[in-house]
Amino acid sequence: MDIKEFIDSLNNLDPENIGGWPLPVKILAWVFAFGVAGFAVYYFTLADSLKQLEKIEKQEIEFMTTYESKAHKAANLDRLKQQMLDMETSFGALLRQLPSDTEVPGLLEDISHTGLSAGLEFDSINLGTESEREFYVELPIEIKVKGGYHSLGAFISGVSALPRIVTLHDFVIKTGDSPNNLEMTITARTYRYNEQE
């Protein structure tokens, strides 16, 4: 059958006598009917279900991620509690190192004793103005001392080893009366807990 005969047979098809249609036309009609039926089934019944399935699969991934995160936290709960206790202990120890108002004279005495033990001569120790920060109050102490190089090193080392928190800032070292005698000006800062916070 050539193409012209096929087209002529299509024009002469009797819709009431489908059994008399040529075989290629019947096959084409069946393929078209199955295609339309398949599309209708997909569009009217499966499309919404597939979208819902995709949405649920995404939720499953989110739930699994949340579950894994919570399971990890639950598995490490004892360790996290211990870390929290350790942090609270170390925070308490740091707070105890912050002097209260009544301990500043004791701190000045410790600094003086450390300097004298190192062989230094004090020119002056002056308290500065307190400045408040978020959790603590900072008190600067201006210190002027004279002594040898090793004595200055021993003094700085001794102040850093004090049981209270003292930081040293703004070093100025210059030669004094003799080459072996140095003059040092330094700012020591001590801290106390800001009870208002």
Residue 39: C-alpha distances to residues 25, 32, 114 (Å) = 21, 11, 93
Q: Tell me how far apart the alpha carbons of residues 161 and 150 are, in angstroms, rounded to a whole number.
A: 16
pLDDT at 117 over 60: yes
Q: What confidence category does residue 190 fall into, taking pLDDT thresholds of 50, 70 and 90?
A: confident
For the chain, give every domain's residue range.
1-75, 99-193
pLDDT at 155: 92
pTM: 0.51
Q: Give the pLDDT confidence score for residue 99 in this predicted structure.
A: 59
Instruction: Please identify, in words, the CATH class of the domain defined by 99-193.
Output: alpha beta
Which tokens belong to 149? 């190089």
pLDDT of residue 149 exceeding 80: yes
Is it the case that residue 19 has pLDDT exceeding 60? Answer: yes
| Cα dist from 180 to 144, 174, 184, 186, whole Å | 17, 11, 13, 19
Strongest mean pLDDT among 1-5, 22-26, 61-65? 61-65
Model confidence at 13, pLDDT cuts 50, 70, 90, reads confident
d(CA 14, CA 10): 9
